[in-house]
Structure 1
Amino acid sequence: MRTAELTQGSVTSRDGTEIGYYKTGQGPAAVVLHGSMESARSHTLFAEALADEFTVYLPDRRGRGLSGPHRRDHGIRTEVEDLDAVVSAAGAERVFGVSAGGAVVLEAARTLPSLKRVALYEPAIVADGAPHREWLVRFDQEVARGDLAGAMVTSMFGFEMAPAFLKVMPRGLLRWMTEKMMAKEERQAAPGTITMRQLAPTIHAEGTIVAELGGTFEKFHAVAADVLLMGGTKGLPGLEPGRATLEKVLPRVRRIEYDGYDHGSSSDPGGVNPTGKPEAVRRIAADVKTFFK
């Protein structure tokens, strides 16, 4: 399998923080914004599928890889400013976003008139943001004492990502399994890989964004861009109602639901995405490419 040839670049966000990105391809610019527990390199296969017709930008959201750290007041406004810095430098009118990244892209489409076509895979917009503020308290306490495995278990239940069989398992066992999984990944990771242990603290920002945007569907009436709204029948159950509502609210929207695809189906297989399949990435990318033309 051919691997996309990536070059690096960076821009400066409004508050002075550096936002780094990878770049590949040729043609009009398209930005790909990753989701939770991911980094810019999580969509290299996706970028490769677009690269023959588009110049693809893969930014690292804050706290990861090429980009600077989160600040104490980090929220959706900061995320949109970071994306705007990349979009403006690239001259991009097309953006694809996944999960929490998809929520950022949708909010950007509401506030940035430069965006003409936005594609979203399982955007993390929920009916009520209050429950996320509640689990974030425990998550922050666990991170502060260095219990990253425990924090990841807390976020898994907080984001309603836990399969039914895990809900009946003792929390201590889940924490032990998570720690073993992170240790195994670190042993096997190639040099430069951004691991689960490194990504775990970034979940605070994801929870903040989901809480902030929860229940704000009506404001997306103002989105003027064309929207491709995607998800999978095996995706996160808590996000499907949001897609159904967005389909009614967005003025210019087309919806696709992929049979058998899960929340990570647009992302590279491996790491936190063990069920990923290259053929699923290519199929989603093909639909996005057609939409972006």
Structure 2
Amino acid sequence: MKTSPQIARDYSKGQVRSADGTTIGYRQRGRGPALILVHGGMQASQHFTRLAATLSAHFTVYVPDRRGRGLSGPHGDHYSVLREVDDLRALVAATGASRIFGLSSGALITLRAAPAIPALDRVALYEPPLSVGGSVPMDWVPRLHREIAAGKIISALVTALKGLGTEPVFDRVPRSVLVPLMAAGSRLRRDVPEDEVPIEALVPTQRFDMQIIREMADTVQDYAALDARVLLLDGAKSPAYFRVALDALSAVLPHARRVSFPGLGHSGPDDDGDPQRVGAALADFFGAQ
């Protein structure tokens, strides 16, 4: 992923302090009502550069680096999804945001935060991997842990991409080809901008995202009384387990509607997808003026 330098320069930085003392840093751009964007696994705030730029015409957009990444402090002891909810609570308190969007594991955190932070009255979720009766594949996770522990970061990246199934091309190419190919690509790309987190630092964070998926499995009924308006988003090309989650949430959330994007996959909102298209739907839902 390469971020446009013209877009990347147009933001300021800030930080808040979470309940356990961890610093949560964020990128800020635009003017208008406050809107928080929560990135997914193996990502950082840099991956929402184009989405934030699209939405900044209507909103003051805050894109935090989730803990363990970039501008923010470490995951810390006793990590759980509730730590990340605390992080969002601190950001909401500082910004006055009532609008929030999350992608993938960021959508899970956003979902968990919605009933805990009453100020959030408009919540948009793109493909939360909410496991329903074991719908999210997890059998590959022990291998991920072993490879990270052994320092085999590129192998761990391939394991995660194949295990999650979010990029169909990786399902068709054998590991014996993918690992050396991606390792060579990583060696060639040494021009990572100073304000970006390299992929080698992001891959190990995936084990914490898988912990969130385990923690939140089979919790659909927890959101049956959620007062917030919720927009459930998905890409038609994504794995079926995301639609299982959205179907289950649609059945219990009292104020939810669905939007599906033909031709898009799991990366739809981020810089490698079509953030302008997703951003237009978000601006409509969040009430762009």
| TM-score between both structures, scaled by the size of structure 1 | 0.89
Aligned partner of 1:206 in structure 2 is 209
Moved more, 71-80 or 225-234: 71-80
Q: 2:239 aligns with which of 214, 236, 247?
A: 236
Summarize deviations over 1:218-268 as a string: whole Å, max 9, x none. 111122100011011012332111111111111100100010011111111
Matched, 1:190 2:189: no
Moved more, 11-20 or 188-197: 188-197
**Is the partner of 1:97 in helix, strand or coil?**
strand
Matched, 1:27 2:12: no
Q: Distance in 2 between matches of 1:131 and 1:283?
A: 27
Aligned partner of 1:44 in structure 2 is 49
Summarize deviations over 1:1-53 as a string: whole Å, max 9, x none. 86262000000111110000011111111101111121112112111122122
- What is the identity, as a one-letter code, of the residue corresponding to 2:68? G
Pairwise CA distance, 1:162: 5.4
Pairwise CA distance, 1:168: 6.2
CA 1:143–1:268: 2 relative to 1, 3 Å: same
Q: Distance in 2 between matches of 1:74 and 1:121?
A: 24
**Is the partner of 1:255 in helix, strand or coil?**
strand
Aligned partner of 1:6 in structure 2 is 11
**Is the partner of 2:166 in helix, strand or coil?**
coil
Q: Distance in 1 between matches of 2:237 and 2:132?
A: 20
- What is the identity, as a one-letter code, of the residue corresponding to 2:266? H
Superposed, which structure 2 residues align to 1:12-161 within 5 Å?
Answer: 12-128=17-133, 134-161=139-166
- What is the identity, as a one-letter code, of the residue corresponding to 2:209? E
CA contact 1:132–1:208 (8 Å) conserved in 2: no
Q: Give 5+ residue unaligned stretches, structure 2.
A: none
CA 1:18–1:78: 2 relative to 1, 3 Å: same
CA contact 1:13–1:19 (8 Å) conserved in 2: yes
Q: Give 5+ residue unaligned stretches, structure 1.
A: 270-275
Q: 1:285 aligns with which of 276, 279, 284?
A: 279
Q: 2:177 aligns with which of 170, 173, 177?
A: 173
CA contact 1:75–1:209 (8 Å) conserved in 2: yes
% identical equivalent positions:
37
Pairwise CA distance, 1:105: 0.5
Pairwise CA distance, 1:83: 1.1
CA contact 1:230–1:255 (8 Å) conserved in 2: yes
Q: Distance in 1 between matches of 2:245 and 2:122?
A: 20
Q: Distance in 2 between matches of 1:54 and 1:170?
A: 43
